[in-house]
A and B are shown apart, each in its own frame.
Chain A
Amino acid sequence: MHTIVCMKQVIDPEVPPHLFEIDAEEMKQKRGTHPLVISAYDEVAIEVGLQLKEKTDGKVTVITIGGEDTVESLHQALAMGVDQAIRVTDPAFDDADAFGKARILAAALRKVEDFDVVLCGRQAGDVELGLVGPFLAEELDLPCATIIANLEPHDDKVRMRRPVETGYEILEASPPFLGTVTNDESNVPRYASVRGMLAARRAEIPVWSADDLGIEPDHVGPATSQIEMTELFVPETDVEIELIQGETGAEKAKNLVDYLKEESLI
C-alpha cells in the first residue's frame, strides 16, 4: 500500500518557557536559534506509515509545504525509511490558513495520484488547531478516521486502532482514506540511522510550485483566509512555590500532608 504522510515542521516545542519568545506584531513565535523539528504527531504518522509499509510491502511518501528550511526535516523522514519526499512551495502559499493548506495538499495529492492511505498528525505542535487533516478529507471527499494510532492490512481493507477511554476501538476502512494520527505504545517513532541520513542527503526531492499544481494563487493565500489570529500574547505565570521542609523524607511527607490539609486540598 502507498501511504502519503503530510508533514509540518515546527520550532522545537521543547524550548523552555524562559527562552520562548513571540513576535506580537507578526503573531508568531520568534525562531531565534532554536532547532526546527518534525511536528510530534506528524513524526508519529510517519512511524505508522512505515509500519504499514513493512506489513504490506508498500511505500511511504512524505509531503510538506515550506521553503528550503524544511529540507532537513524531509531528510530526517527519508532517513527513517520514507521512500520519497516532496516539497511544495510558492510565495502564494505564505500565511495560508488551514483551508488554504488543505487546498494546496489536495492539489499535491491529486498530482501524486496513486495512493491508498493519507495520514496527518492529529494536530501540529505550534498553533494546534487540528484542522488540516479533516479539511483535506473533505477537500478530496475521502472517508476519514480521526485520532487513530495504528494500521493493519486486513484483506483489501485496513483496520485501525483508535484509543478511547475504555481501551481501543478497531475501525475498518477501504482505501483510499485519510486518517489523523495520535501516539500510543505501538508507534513510538524510530530513530533515523546515520547511514539513512547519508543516503537521504543524496535523495532527489521534487519541488512543486502553485503553477505545477494548477493552483490559482488567490485561492490559497491570506485573501481567502477564514481562520485568523488577531492577537498573540504570553500570559503572566508567576508562581510562588511553597517548599516543604523537613530533616528526613518521612518528615517532609508528614509536613506535606499537614500542609495539604491546612489548605483544604485533600
Chain B
Amino acid sequence: MSILTFCAASSEALPDAPLEVLAAARHLSEELGGRDVHALLLGSGVEEHAARLIEQGADGVFVVDDPQLENLQAELVLAAVEEAVEQLSPAVIIFPHNDLSGGHVAPRLAGRLKTGIVTDCTSIQVDGDTIRWLRPVYGGKAMAYMVAEGPLQIGTMRALAYEPLEPDVSRDGTVETLDVDLGAASVDVPVVDQIVEEEEFAGRSIDRADIIVSGGRGMGDEEGFESIKRLAEVMDAAIGGSRPAADSGWVPHSHLVGQTGKIVAPQLYIAIGISGAPQHMSGAGSSKTIVAINKDEDAPIFKAAHIGVVDEWENVLPALIEELQEK
C-alpha cells in the first residue's frame, strides 16, 4: 500500500508545495518502515516535471496530462484525482494545504469517498500502525494530534511544514501515464472572468515571502500606511496587514495576516502599529523572527516578538527607511 502525493502544476513551473509534500511523504514512509511514495502529477504539458519529482523523493510518478487541466479547474482536478485513486488504491494521499487542494479537492474527495481527512497539518507522526497528524487549532494557541479513519487516509500539509529534499539525480523511479478520461467530467462552477488586482501588490505575495513588513491600526490612515509600503520596498519585502488595515482597505485581503487571512512563516516579520491581537498572531506567530515597533510597551505583540522597538512609528520609520536605503 503506497503513499500518494498530489502535485498540480503548470507547464512552466513546478511549485515548492508539492516538493514539500513529497518530503512529508518520505518522512511518513520511513516512519511506517518503508512504503513506496508515488506522486500524482496533474496539469497540461507537465510531464517534464516528473524527473524532478523522482530526484526529490518520488519512487514513481503517475501523470495525468490533459489540456483540460490547463487552468487546474477544481472540479476537473477532483474528477482526475478520484479516478487516479480508484486505479492506484493508495493507503494515504497527501496534498498541499492551499486553496485548490486543501480548500476544495481534498475535502470533497474525502466527503465523496467517506474517508477520514486531517487538514492543514504541520507534522506527521506514527504510533504503532496509527498515523497521527499534528495541526494547530484555536488559532494556533493549541496543537492537536488527529487521526483519520477510513479506506484511505487523507492529509493536507501547511506550506513550509517540511523542507523539500535535496535533488538526487541518481534516484531511480518510474513514470507512467494514467488513463484518465475527463470527457465526462462536468464543470458546474466555471470561471467566467479574471480580474487582476492593483499593480503595487501584484507579484508580491506574502504566502512564501522571506521578509514581510506588516502594518496595523496604529498606522492611522492610508497615508500612514504608505510608510509600510516604502519600508517594504527598500527591504524587498512583501506587504502585509492586520485585519483593521485590510478592512480599512489599506491592503487587499489577500495580504491580510491572521486567523481570517493568511498564515505565514517568513524568516523575518516586521509588525508596525500592530497590537498583536490573537486574530493577528494566529497568522504571524510561526514567523522565524518577529520584530515589533509599537508605542505601547504593554501591547501583546511584545509578548510574541523577538526584537522590539518601543516608540511611535513616526519617530522610527523615516530613519529606518533611510538606513536601509544606504545599505
Q: Which residues of A contact B (CB under 8 A)?
A: 13-17, 20, 22, 27, 29, 40-41, 44, 99, 102, 122, 125-131, 133-135, 137-139, 143-147, 149, 159-160, 163-174, 177, 180, 182-185, 188, 225-235, 237, 239-244, 248-250, 252-254, 256-257, 259-260, 263, 265-266
Contact B260 A41 (CB under 8 A): yes
Whether A177 touches B188, Cβ cut-off 8 Å, given contacts A168-B195, A226-B150, A233-B143, is: yes
Closest CB of chain A to B104's CB: distance in Å?
4
Whether A167 touches B205, Cβ cut-off 8 Å, given contacts A130-B107, A234-B142, A239-B304, is: no
B103 within 8 A of A: yes
Instruction: Name the A residues within 8 Å of B304 (CB-CB).
Output: 237, 239
Known: A17-B278, A234-B141, A253-B316. 6 other contacts (CB 8 A): A129-B117, A129-B118, A169-B193, A171-B191, A250-B316, A253-B322
Closest CB of chain B to A24's CB: distance in Å?
10
B108 within 8 A of A: yes
Complex Cα gap A157–B281 (Å): 39
Contact B316 A126 (CB under 8 A): no
Instruction: Name the B residues within 8 Å of A147 (CB-CB).
Output: 99, 103-104
B182 within 8 A of A: no
Closest CB of chain B to A7's CB: distance in Å?
15
Contact with A along B245-280 (1 / 0, CB 8 A): 011010011101001110000011000000001110
Closest CB of chain A to B93's CB: distance in Å?
15
| Interface pick from B25-33, B42-50, B56-64, B132-140 | B132-140
Contact A166 B197 (CB under 8 A): yes
Instruction: Name the A residues within 8 Å of B256 (CB-CB).
Output: 183
Instruction: Name the B residues within 8 Å of A265 (CB-CB).
Output: 267-268, 289
Contact B99 A146 (CB under 8 A): yes
Contact B196 A166 (CB under 8 A): yes
The count of A-to-B residue pairs whose CB atoms sit within 8 angstroms is 253
CB neighbors of A among B312-327 (8 A): 312, 314-320, 322-324, 327
Complex Cα gap A230–B130 (Å): 11
Closest CB of chain A to B289's CB: distance in Å?
6
Whether A165 touches B191, Cβ cut-off 8 Å, given contacts A40-B260, A242-B308, is: no
Contact A252 B311 (CB under 8 A): yes
Contact A259 B254 (CB under 8 A): no
Contact B192 A170 (CB under 8 A): yes
Contact A249 B315 (CB under 8 A): yes
Q: Pick 10 A–B contacts, CB within 8 A, sort by A.
A: A29-B142, A44-B260, A128-B120, A130-B102, A131-B111, A144-B189, A167-B197, A168-B194, A183-B253, A266-B268
Contact B104 A146 (CB under 8 A): yes
Look across to chain A and name the residue whose beta carbon is closest to the beta carbon of B102: A130
Contact A134 B104 (CB under 8 A): yes
B110 within 8 A of A: yes
Closest CB of chain A to B216's CB: distance in Å?
15
Instruction: Name the A residues within 8 Å of B249 (CB-CB).
Output: 185
Contact B149 A228 (CB under 8 A): yes
B167 within 8 A of A: no
Closest CB of chain A to B286's CB: distance in Å?
11
Instruction: Name the A residues within 8 Å of B282 (CB-CB).
Output: 13
Closest CB of chain A to B220's CB: distance in Å?
16
Whether A226 touches B148, Cβ cut-off 8 Å, given contacts A13-B278, A167-B194, A183-B260, is: yes
Whether A250 touches B300, Cβ cut-off 8 Å, given contacts A170-B193, A256-B320, A257-B323, is: no
Contact B259 A125 (CB under 8 A): yes
Closest CB of chain A to B127's CB: distance in Å?
9
Contact A27 B307 (CB under 8 A): no
Contact A249 B316 (CB under 8 A): yes
B190 within 8 A of A: yes
Contact B114 A99 (CB under 8 A): yes
Contact with A along B286-308 (1 / 0, CB 8 A): 00010100000000101111111
Closest CB of chain B to A59's CB: distance in Å?
23
Contact A165 B207 (CB under 8 A): yes
Whether A244 touches B118, Cβ cut-off 8 Å, given contacts A167-B195, A257-B324, A265-B268, is: no
Whether A232 touches B144, Cβ cut-off 8 Å, given contacts A135-B110, A163-B254, is: yes
Look across to chain A and name the residue whose beta carbon is closest to the beta carbon of B196: A167
B126 within 8 A of A: no
Contact A228 B192 (CB under 8 A): no
Instruction: Name the B residues within 8 Å of A232 (CB-CB).
Output: 137, 142-145
* Residue in A127, A137, A227 whose beta carbon sits within 8 Å of that of B108 in the complex: A137
Which are the 9 A-B pairs with shortest beta-carbon distances?
A: A249-B315, A143-B188, A138-B111, A167-B197, A253-B319, A134-B107, A250-B319, A170-B193, A253-B320
Look across to chain B and name the residue whose beta carbon is closest to the beta carbon of A243: B308
Complex Cα gap A199–B302 (Å): 43
Contact A102 B118 (CB under 8 A): no
Whether A242 touches B189, Cβ cut-off 8 Å, given contacts A168-B194, A170-B194, is: no
Complex Cα gap A44–B194 (Å): 23
Instruction: Name the B residues within 8 Å of A257 (CB-CB).
Output: 320, 323-324, 327
Contact B247 A188 (CB under 8 A): yes
Contact A240 B306 (CB under 8 A): yes
Complex Cα gap A167–B306 (Å): 33
B146 within 8 A of A: yes
